[in-house]
Amino acid sequence: MRAITCTKNGSPDVLQIKEVEKPTPKDNEVLVKVYEIVVSPVDCTFRKGNPYAARLFTGLTKPKATIPGGLLAGEIEAVGKDVKVFKKGDQVYAATMNGAYAEYTCVPEDGAIAVKPANMTYGEAAAVSDGALTALPFLRNTANIQSKQKVLINGASGSIGTSAVQLAKYYGAEVTGVCSTTNLDMVKSLGADHVIDYTKEDFTKTSQTYDIIFDTVGKSSFLRCRNSLKQTGIYLTTVPSMAINLQMLWTSIIGSKKAKIAFTGLRSSIEKTKDLLFLKELIEAEKITSVIDRRYSLDQIAEAHRYVETGHKKGNVAISLEYNNKT
């Protein structure tokens, strides 16, 4: 089978297409024929090995997993003898630690895998799991979002932001999305009540205050946003830093305004699977959709990584493996 391999850290050019042996599922695994994968910013970070803290998870001197990628959708081709939940032919979507950049991959039955939403294509299902699996625990668990709260999403047009806008609306919040001029209409179409063009207006310089400010792209800071928070407001960021760690500690002790971060990628597979099933319900109820900016072929993986690294993608970037035109 064809797979993308990464045997050293570096630029997108370290990604190589190779013929490798098709995997065989263990007793507790399913073999998935992969139709679509997603290139996420996390994939780019792991490929580069930068920041170096990422190497604690991916390998100190070189990648431990030679086939990268964590977000996929496809069809189960075979199951191990102990598998009870899934069967051959099931259409699934999954969030794995690695191995997704291939025509076939094995996923443990108790991994983060679920039957995909019936009303989504494979590409849409793979794409929605990227941002939504981050946005959901941030808003629901970390911020304890409530109906009628005012929520601002900074970076509302990205993979996390597009999911965050829709999820915040699902929970009954009044949502303000911050994005560039070209993305205003798209963010409105996802349900945002208000949009701010960051090229023309700085939301921290207005008199408007919010219960939750969710910076999905790490372009602001708690100190900069503090005056834009209500008295018991919460500032969320997806980008870890020494500053946010210190601010989390400090605001947990002093003051009513809080700075918080959540390491959603480190959650257990059980938690992620519960969220995949919950998202499936929301998607089939047409409460959430996915946004795909561009779709590439497997041979264009390096180009896809370069585009993701520009930081200007709208929603998600998908890779189609083009089996029987199932996308």
Task: Determine the pLDDT at residue 51.
Answer: 75
Question: For the chain, what are the domain ranges?
Answer: 2-129+287-320, 130-265
Collect the ranges in the chain with pLDDT lower than 50: 324-325
Contacts of 131 (CB under 8 A, 6+ apart): 158, 159, 160, 161, 162, 163, 164, 216, 315, 316
Q: Which CATH class is domain 130-265?
A: alpha beta
- Say which DSSP state 110 is in: T
Cα gap 238→249, rounded to integer Å: 16
Q: For residue 232, count CB atoms less than 10 angstroms from its CB and return exposed for 0-12, middle for 13-18, buried for 19 or more.
A: exposed
Architecture of domain 2-129+287-320: Alpha-Beta Complex (3.90)
Whole-structure pTM value: 0.94
Q: State pLDDT tens for residues 152-192.
A: 999 999 999 999 999 999 999 999 999 999 999 999 999 99
Beta bridge partners of 214: 153, 236
Contacts of 323 (CB under 8 A, 6+ apart): 33, 35
- In 10 A of CB 13, how many CB atoms? 9
Task: Determine the pLDDT at residue 60.
Answer: 85
Q: State pLDDT tens for residues 31-85.
A: 999 999 999 999 999 999 887 777 877 888 888 889 999 999 999 999 999 999 9
CB 210 within 8 A of CB 151: yes
Q: How many helices (H) and strands (E) does the chain have?
A: 9, 15
Cα gap 248→260, rounded to integer Å: 6
Q: Which amino acid is at 232?
A: T
Q: What angle do CA 307, 98, 239 make, to 5 degrees?
A: 55
* Tokens (6 digits) for 88: 């051959």
* Tokens (6 digits) for 254: 């002093």
Task: Determine the pLDDT at residue 326.
Answer: 53
